[in-house]
Amino acid sequence: MAYRAIWALADDPETACRLLRRKLTPASPVADPERVRQLVAQLDRPKFREREAATKALKILGPSIIGELRQALRDARSQEVRTRLQAVLRVLEDKASAANLRQSRAVQVLELARTPASWELLKHWASGATEAPLTQDAKTALARLEKK
């Protein structure tokens, strides 16, 4: 089913570019590392309310902080912090997995379309945060298109 949708969009590049430009923007840089460290430190606060607030805030920052949270998990000393970090990572990794699949398919549509507008949109996405999957996928697609 997904491949039918990909080909249907690729067959109508003008509509595809318009739709995908509205739905996806270049990946923004990772959240401020200092802010992430502060929130991780708050996961070990004595008050439950403060720990919950920090947990919520980390989830809101989104998948871009997964790498930092994995490092914090390796460095965690208390079981409370480890448990909370594992819970946040599960949520963010699920979000990242679904988002990465949608983004990868969007890049595939533009690569198949091979129009000036699709190249322009791929270049736009390739200008995002270096470590982001959308940025990397767009750069890889552009490299393949340039070889052809």
Q: What is the pTM of this model?
A: 0.69
Look up the domain containing 40 and give its range.
Answer: 33-96
Q: Are residues 21 and 38 in the same domain?
A: no
Q: Say how far apart CA 18 and CA 20 lie, in whole Å.
A: 6
Q: Say how far apart CA 82 and CA 76 lie, in whole Å.
A: 6
Q: Are 128 and 143 in contact (CB under 8 A)?
A: no
Q: Are residues 91 and 59 in the same domain?
A: yes
pLDDT for residue 129: 81
- Neighbour-count burial of 63, counting CB atoms closer than 10 A to its CB (0-12 exposed, 13-18 middle, 19+ buried): buried
pLDDT for residue 28: 77
The share of the chain scoring above pLDDT 90, in percent, equals 59
pLDDT for residue 95: 84
Number of structural domains found in the chain:
2
Q: Are residues 67 and 117 in the same domain?
A: no
Q: What tens digit of pLDDT does each residue of 22-41 get?
A: 988 887 777 788 999 999 99
Q: What tens digit of pLDDT does each residue of 97-131 get?
A: 888 899 999 999 999 999 999 999 999 999 988 87
Q: What is the CATH number of the domain that holds 59?
A: 1.25.10
pLDDT for residue 30: 72
Q: Are residues 121 and 86 in the same domain?
A: no
Higher pLDDT, 96 or 125: 125
pLDDT for residue 5: 85
